[in-house]
Structure 1
Amino acid sequence: MDQGLKPIRVWLTPSGPNPWKVVVILEELRLSYEVVSFKFDHVKKKPFTDLNPNGRAPAIEDPNTDLVLWESGAVITYLVQQYDKDKLLTYNTLKEQHLINQWLHFQMSGQGPYWGTAGWFNVLHPEKVPSAIERYNNQVKRVLGVLEGVLADKDWLVDDKMTYADLAFVPWNDRLESVLLCPDEDKFAGFPRVKAWHESMTCRPAWKRAMEKRDKLMDEQGLMWNGMPKGIKNLQEYEAKIAAGEDTTPKDS
């Protein structure tokens, strides 16, 4: 860790997966950072929308470069380009640099949206829509199949070491059982290479440190595994309370 750097400020809502893509990169690079954790109720409000007008977490403020940046993929690319001087999570060769970027874009365009939409229809949508559930569960499996094929004869997405592209897939994959509503031991059924790849990263100290922070922040906000406050039964009740301006903080938190 470079002690001469000022801490990078990371704004996040702890329940979402995308902020932890950024945090695990910070942990792997051993960069100094501080977390500004806030409730999901405030993601579309000031002061956060002054940083990210789209109202989606995460966003960072880097006092070392006077840069405010949002979109997790853009943040990851910046952190690696600016601070990974030893190329711990990337390469210094043109081909490999662009292949890593390719897989990061696939995570953002393929894995993230499909996992999120499958989770919506499996867990949060007020009505069960079998055709939508089937479509997006199949898309999840399609993306897993792409990864399984690529990892068939190697351990990492690009060449012979873990890069920031590999790490970007971990937060969404880590909650796959919640997305598909299946037992944890079955979430990678049929995809043994993806399972081994995922577990090789979740056993790393950087990921464990990130998840310890997440657990603490989730507990501070009184949140359940699905991101809703304890005592709230479904998303519609949660959204109604937010719209009404009611405090969603659990009374015993």
Structure 2
Amino acid sequence: MVTIKEELLSAIPALHICKAEYEQKPLPTLIFWHGFSSGKEHNLHVAFRLAKKDIRVILPEAIHHGERNQGLTEKQRLLEFWSIVLKSLKETEMIRNELEEKNLVQEERLFVGGTSMGGILTCGALTAFPWIKGGIVLMGNPAWEVFARKQITRLEQQGALPLSEEDVEKQVQKLIEYDLSQNEQTLGDRPLFFWHGRDDEEVPYDESYAFYEKIKEYRKEDASLVYQLDPSAGHKVSRDGIIAMTDWVADYI
């Protein structure tokens, strides 16, 4: 039987999903982050499939979302996008440390993944943390600087950017150290699964696919590096994509 428990991990609200008999035993573990304006419970279908494969899944709640929502409007939350990502990056390590202290991670077999904002976060986490053994990027983007500058352009066009040019540039510079596309050597040979819809307009696939093609040049025979591009999908992961991803995780975690 698969159990779902609400927990606080390093004071971060999270859902903890695994088979009941393994609740206090070490397991391969995935920390999986939700997307922007979403919430941890929206990825329970992913967690259930993985728990059935004897994998522990932690679904954290990002700041300004779900039960951590502090009353921001959608526009205010959008302006906090990168601060949310950076805070979640730090919280990923905090969650991992608590899981390790409780001896819940089997032989350091820990992956990080997420959808949309969570996928973007995953790319930064792979850049920052060598202890992550593999990543899942669903509708994400490893090119943080490029993506941030496109966001800024859109906000400027809407007249919704309450920052000076100097302040904007300072914020962008903080992102570069976590930009996987500019720090590709940090990935090494770790397993990495991408899924994207070709018609995604919110987070277009171009940068993630270009990164994959670049990495594939020197990992040609590596079956653990996967990019699935759905020709008929937009900004929503298909059922086939979820099945392929969970099967891949079970193979490589």
TM-score with structure 1 setting the length: 0.33
Higher helix share: 1
Higher relative contact order structure (alpha carbons within 8 Å, sequence separation ≥ 6): 1
TM-score with structure 2 setting the length: 0.33
